[in-house]
Chain A
Amino acid sequence: MSVSTSPNFKENVHGALRDESLQRALGRLKTGFRDKRLAAIENLPEFEALRDQARDIKNHTLENLDHYLLTFEENVKANGGHVHWCADAEEARQVVAKICRDTNAKSVLKGKSMISEEIALNDFLEKQDLKVVETDLGEYIIQLRHEPPSHIIAPAIHVHKEEVADSFRETHKGRDPNRSLDEPRELLDEAREVMREHFFAADVGITGANFLIAETGTSVIVTNEGNGDLTQTLSRVHVAIASLEKVVPTLEDASSILRVLARSATGQEMSSYTTFSTGPRREGDLDGPEEYHVILLDNGRSNMLGTEFQDMLRCIRCAACMNHCPVYGAVGGHAYGWVYPGPMGSVLSPSLIGVDEAGHLPNASTFCGKCEEVCPMRIPLPKMMRHWREREFEKHLSPSSFRYGIKTWAFFASKPRLYRAVTGIASKVLAKMAGGKGRIAKLPLAGGWTDMRDFPAPEGKTFKELWAEKQAGKGDVK
């Protein structure tokens, strides 16, 4: 696996654009996600109103975040669960390690969780001699391939089914080497059989959370395979890891947001499984964990409160923004170099790992606005990417040639007479360079343009020159 990091964005892009297998996989975004989302929302006339409602719920929660988090904690405890407040990734990893030690765990089952990717939990746990098994099929596949996810809800979207079959043959020993693994169904069945053995041996089950419900102290996960709920019900100990902003006040609020979540994500009305966990197994319960822990992770979120980036904390990780982003669609998730790709990552990653590390990401956008158009939580993603550019510019992180270029241009553009003279000359020079062909194939200092396309030549005179001539002809010079 090649290590891609955010500062290497351009190199990553170069590779991704030449990776035919990846390009073929990215071609599936349209039918796999975009068309389905469109069909789902066309069937729900109140979708736009639901988006407003979802946004308002989260805004209200963020304005009162301390209150709802404390209420959540109180209710988890009242149900016999434990809450761990963690400031950063290291604290969260240590808490998980301690829970595993205290419960004598040998094996850990994982439900799909982006937060566990954010804190690089698997590597850490494996170093503690724990056996970690991902139970989400996509996560399981990339675990076998030793890769990071390339999408927040379809982590293995870059992998083709033939490659999955190869990984299975390699890892699942003791099976008929000539078995058919051509059909997705066959792959799913085999994964399920292998996982079943792990489910029954599991000590600790770690999941993420799509929502934390303050009024009931409940964590909620939304899945399509159902392995997430097996992870949390069959394990002796359930640990839910969630970032602070996952809290919502009430069950009703969670239900409202659920109505936009699956539609925006996969075009389903609801995901196949929506699982609510409230405390450990109670007397008389047929199943459920003996212990229930929630890790509340900050890891940079509280720094976003009260800033121009607060709106980003409304994100419900539906992935609509990346499914519709032409840049993500061109380069895939790994190019972004860290856990969160696409537009949401371009806003969130600089907040979490620093704009000096992730500065390329908010720049690599045309501001086409498609992400904001589809975001169910109405997060103004392009505007926030621009705010990151402002921070970069203030910190002098943008390349000096670029800064110089902008300043020089602004100098001319704020001096109308000089500007008229200079653009007049430039138009003529460029028109001359084109020599009547209407275009220039190679232009000094504009390699970024002419490496990819011809440079259309100007007509020759500027509009203002021609307009002045025309007005002079009318005897009406301004």
Chain B
Amino acid sequence: MTPSKPRVGLFVTCLVDMFRPTVGFSAVKLLEEAGCDVDVPMDQTCCGQPAFNSGDNASARKVAAPLIDMFADYDYVVAPSGSCAGMIKKHFPELFADDPAMAARVQALSDKTHELVSFLTDIMKVDSVPAEFDGKVTYHDSCSGLRELKVKQQPRKLLNSIKGLEISELSEPETCCGFGGTFCVKYPEISGKMVGDKTRDITETGAKTLLAGDLGCLMNMAGKLAREGSNVEVRHVAEVLADMTMAAPPIAGKEGE
């Protein structure tokens, strides 16, 4: 008897849902190729992080609570974002700490939630992908994935399995890009300075493509590169791993660019 496929509930994330569906479809493809049965609960919206990080825990709980039941029946919950996966895994238990009735269910959700790429490598033991890509890319380590979930080597491992793809590292891959959710609109000048430092670093690598695992950071960096007139293309790492770069133009890039 072959063991049944793990059932994965995809947590799409609000940004991917609204701005970049291709990342969601890339995630589905990667998960299915890794042998998962993927489902998308249609009532999901957001993980509540914008409210949580603004100190509005009541609103955060209101948005977060439905996810606990919605994803209860899956073996795993996977998000193409270190930030949102980190919110569920690390911060849901804090957010519901005062509610003992919820504690066990929240912990169960936390335990089975993963960021996409690390889920592929660490849980599904994927060590290569059949994608094609020609050229030099650089990779930004988004903060939450890196520090809360220890996502560092996993995306590099899979990217390195792609023939023709070469990674040219940033001089400071682990320095924040200045997105920070609401931070980037509350303190635009500091954010602008930080993302400016980041795009300089990106340009100096000589890579044609910038990849990362979080859409918020990618939109920030892509927006800045576009403003500077750079022709570096920006994509979510899942698009490259799933060989779906033909499905959409780069982030902030034109059709056919």
Contact = CB atoms under 8 A, between A and B. Distances in A.
A and B co-occur in one complex: yes
A364 B186 CA distance: 8
A276 B71 CA distance: 59
Contacts of B178: 326, 366
Interface stretch (A9-17, A140-148, A280-288): A9-17
Contacts of B251: 438, 456
Contacts of A446: 185
B55 A452 contact: no
A73 to B, nearest CB: 38
Contacts of B167: none
A459 B188 contact: no
B79 interface: no
A302 interface: no
Contacts of A331: 190
Interface string A434-448: 001111010000111
Contact of A393 (B21, B56, B249): B56
Given A330-B190, A438-B257, A406 B21 contact: no
Given A436-B254, A453-B224, A368 B143 contact: yes
A427 interface: yes
A413 interface: yes
State the majority secondary structure of interface residues on B: helix
A459 B185 contact: no
A416 B144 CA distance: 26
Contacts of A13: 187, 189-190
A406 B180 contact: no
A389 B66 CA distance: 24
Contacts of B53: 367, 386, 389
Contacts of A364: 183, 186-187, 190
Nearest to B182: A402
A393 B55 contact: yes
A40 to B, nearest CB: 18
A462 B18 contact: yes
A392 B253 CA distance: 39
Interface of B: 12, 14, 16-22, 24-25, 39-46, 48, 50-57, 59-60, 62-63, 66, 94, 143-144, 146-148, 174-176, 178-195, 197, 219-220, 222-224, 226-227, 248-255, 257
Interface of A: 10, 13-14, 17, 326-327, 330-331, 363-370, 372-373, 383, 386, 388-394, 398, 402-403, 406-407, 409-410, 412-414, 416, 419-420, 423, 426-427, 436-439, 441, 446-449, 451-459, 461-464, 466-468, 478
